[in-house]
Amino acid sequence: MQKITTFLWYDDRAEEAARLYTSLFPDSRITGTTRYSDVGPGEPGTVMTVEFELAGQRYTALNGGPVFHFTEAVSLQVDCADQAEVDRLWTALLVDGGEESQCGWLKDRFGLSWQIVPRVLTELIADPDRAKADRVMAAMLQMRKIEIQPLLDAARG
């Protein structure tokens, strides 16, 4: 059992968000749903929480109302194997009102921030050759969605 579970507060679209997220990642599924009772505070019978797993990691989504909102101070970072995975996730998370940001960051239509990061970026900016790593970082800072080929070009100088 996972000791710490990420808890995400949505206004009223927790179930929709969980369905989208679990459709995007292998080894993902909705594991449970609870509903508000007559005690409240939500309307009886409506979804209160949705428990789900993304790539084997547990999350809980709450329909808590419009009291709190997501900010970029918390984001989900996705390690992507290649450009095809970056492109697929970037497109899927921007559907129906998502917003691009910079340096591989975006907000999905629910307001949750994601970092869609190709593994090669992490490897290149950790390279012991600081000039090479700095060129890659400079290239990445010019991007919205991360494109691998320009990073490799920058690494080569």
Among the listed residues 98, 54, 52, the one whose alpha carbon sits nearest the alpha carbon of residue 78: 54
pLDDT of 2 reads 87
Show me where the domains of the chain are located. Answer: 6-63, 75-156
Could you tell me how many residues make up the chain? Answer: 157
Whole-model pTM: value is 0.94
Q: 6-63 in CATH: which number?
A: 3.30.720.100
pLDDT digits (tens, 9 = 90+) for 64-115: 999 999 999 999 999 999 999 999 999 999 999 999 999 999 999 999 999 9
What is the torsional sign of CA 108, 110, 113, 114?
A: negative
**Could you tell me the pLDDT band of residue 40, with boundaries at 50, 70 and 90?**
confident
**pLDDT exceeds cutoff 80 at 13:** yes
User: Contact 86/118 with Cβ under 8 angstroms?
Assistant: yes
**pLDDT exceeds cutoff 80 at 138:** yes
Fold exhibited by the domain 75-156: 2,3-Dihydroxybiphenyl 1,2-Dioxygenase; domain 1 (3.10.180)
Q: At what angle do helices 148-156 and 130-140 cross, to 10 degrees?
A: 150
Token pair listed for 16:
């929709």
Those residues whose C-beta lies under 8 Å from the C-beta of residue 143, and which sit 6 or more positions away, are 102, 103, 104, 150
CA distance 119 to 17: 25
